[in-house]
Amino acid sequence: MPLQDTRLLTVFDKLCHDYKANMMRFRPCKPGSEMLEANLVFSFIMAFKELYSNAFWAVEVPFESTETNAHNNHLDALIFIDGTLYLIEAKRDYATQDQLNLMRDDLARIKSPRLAASLQQMIHRDVYDNPLSEVSKVIGVLLADTWQNSNRNAWRSGVYKGETQDWLPKHRAMEDLGIYAQGARTPYTLMAAHTDNLTQSLEIIRGKNVEH
């Protein structure tokens, strides 16, 4: 299914347009290597803010590790607008099985009760002059890029080497930017997906079911 969230659908279109324009001017990577996913995250935030100026954003959001209770895990970014909290993770291009494994780990991080509990603590502090309004919806967002056709096919079909990737969010999109690596047949492609409302995370963030 395509992206269902209308904001994310609009932002992804703008992201693809802007990212292609940027790549035609400069690529912050060693020739032949990949750009860090921070570029994709920041470009997504910029596109979102240009379209929705009242959106609030943060990057490298810390949360507790299961093993140590120290805040040494992090979420790539979050965006908050009109009661909706978007939790964002991104991955650069890897071999298909590696990229799928890493994105599955990213989705688990987004859904983590420990992330939700840390967000609950950060949001509900008495130090803010202009705090965020109440969270009414929590949406997980996965972003990725690839030069590989096998990655595109797995994202499109939800199947890799005959195995259904049933962990993938059903709302997915993919855009060919029309840029080719030297000698490659597969164009550079951006991919995005989002979850439905993460109700367990929402309950924890709103302070109704805080777990550690």
> What CA–CA distances, in Å, run from 197 to 4, 51, 135?
12, 22, 11
> Does residue 1 belong to any structural domain of this protein?
no
**Assessment of whether the complete model's pTM goes beyond 0.75:** yes
b/e per residue 186-196 (b: at least 16 CB within 10 A):
ebbbbbbbbbe
Residue-wise pLDDT for 133-151, tens only, equals 999 999 999 999 999 999 9
CB 87 within 8 A of CB 78: yes
- Find out whether 144 and 106 touch, Cβ atoms under 8 Å: no
Instruction: Evaluate whether residue 159 is within a structural domain.
Output: yes
Residue whose pair of structure tokens reads 């509990």 in the numeric block? 117
Structural domain contains residue 210: no
Q: State mean pLDDT over 82-94.
A: 96
Residue 87, SS3?
strand
Residue 33 forms part of a structural domain = yes
Confidence of residue 69 (pLDDT cuts 50, 70, 90): low
Is there a domain that residue 102 lies in?
Answer: yes
Given this model, what pLDDT does residue 31 score? 73
Q: Which of 65-79, 107-121, 169-183 has the lowest mean pLDDT?
A: 65-79
**How many domains, in total, are found in the chain?**
1
User: To which H or E segment does residue 116 belong?
Assistant: helix 113-123
Residue 201 lies in a domain: yes
Domain carrying residue 175 = 6-205
Return the pLDDT at 36. 77
The verdict on residue 175 lying in a domain is yes
